[in-house]
Chain A
Amino acid sequence: MATSTNSAIDATAVPETDDVKSVAAALVAAGIGCLAMGIVTTLSEAAKSVANLLNLYKPVGPLSGKALVAVAIWLIAWVLLSRIAKAQPIKVTRWIGAAFVFVALGILSTCPLFFDLFGDK
């Protein structure tokens, strides 16, 4: 006799449950964190004053501030997006698309070929 543990999982499409929205929020927040790293890197390159502001720990230099700011923005975005996603219907596919646009922009804007275009140092 077949038991329930050996039966196949129902793989039909699921509605946008809180679980689905929670994953989408986590992915978008990660994208925002990546983009934040790219933006602070570019800003730091564009303005010496920003680089000095981000120099929180002298042995590491401005990288210490860039990492701290990016991680803080990522975590704040995660909390906020989770609340937004829980409170209202969202277009999950669009959120997922946005997440990867942000990640791609993050990778691009941490590359010297990009941020050197704005360099004043």
Chain B
Amino acid sequence: MSMSTRELWVTFHGMVFGGVFLLAYSAGALALWGLTGSSLTVSGLKERLLFLRLCTLGMAALAWLTAISGAFVAYPWYRKIPPAGADLAFYPQALLKANPLLHEWHFFGMEWKEHVAWLAPIAATAVAYAVWKHGSVLAKDDRLRKAVLLMHTAAFAAATVAGGLGALITKAAPIR
């Protein structure tokens, strides 16, 4: 059992950075949902805010790591142009484009994934900022708390589209 350097990078991009981001969503969403001033004591609020701050900051960092490692490390390997007569198994984009049964994985799947992925870190950073800088205000202002929760969900939705498509594309044409 062994992994090439490329496979290791792709694993970190998709399963470590991206996977942990997606797993952390529900913890952050639950903590945000429960961040209501009417149901928390001052000490309870402090504890909840500390957890939320670490969770949202971690998620923002993971979202940036996922997007940057995806675009600037894995994507160049994906789109590398094969020399004439090369084995397309080592050139995922060319492999997908060459097969009419698979080419939508590139023209729909990768084309959406590579762009929508950048929405996640932007949205996650706004959430982390709101929680870090103005967390106690979110506990008092329901409207604001729900807006931040919705932005947190938007980051998750963008990452889910990107991550889901990435997993399916990797199944059809893995980076080797």
Q: Is the CB of A23 within 8 A of B130?
A: yes
Q: How many residues of A contact B (CB 8 A)?
A: 49
A23: chain B residues within 8 A (beta carbon): 130, 133-134, 137-138, 144, 147-148
For B161, the chain A residues whose CB sits under 8 A away are: 107
A/B pair count, beta carbons within 8 Å: 141
The distance in angstroms between the C-alpha atoms of A110 and B130, with both chains bound, is 26
Task: Please determine whether B116 and A111 come into contact, CB atoms closer than 8 angstroms.
Answer: yes
A9 smallest CB distance to B (angstroms): 3
Binary interface profile of A, 64-107, with partner B (CB < 8 Å = 1, else 0)? Answer: 10110011001000000000000000001100100110010011
Q: Is A37 in contact with chain B by the CB < 8 A criterion?
A: yes
B126:A29 contact, CB within 8 angstroms? yes
Residue of A nearest to B36 (CB): A11
Interface size class of B (residues with CB under 8 A): 35 or more
Q: How far is the CB of B105 from chain A (nearest CB, A)?
A: 12
- With beta carbons under 8 angstroms apart, the residue of A22, A60, A111 that contacts B134 is A22
Partner-A contacts on B (CB < 8 A)? 36-43, 45, 67, 71-72, 75-76, 79-80, 107-108, 111-112, 114-116, 118-119, 122-123, 125-126, 129-130, 133-134, 137-144, 147-148, 150-151, 154, 157-158, 161
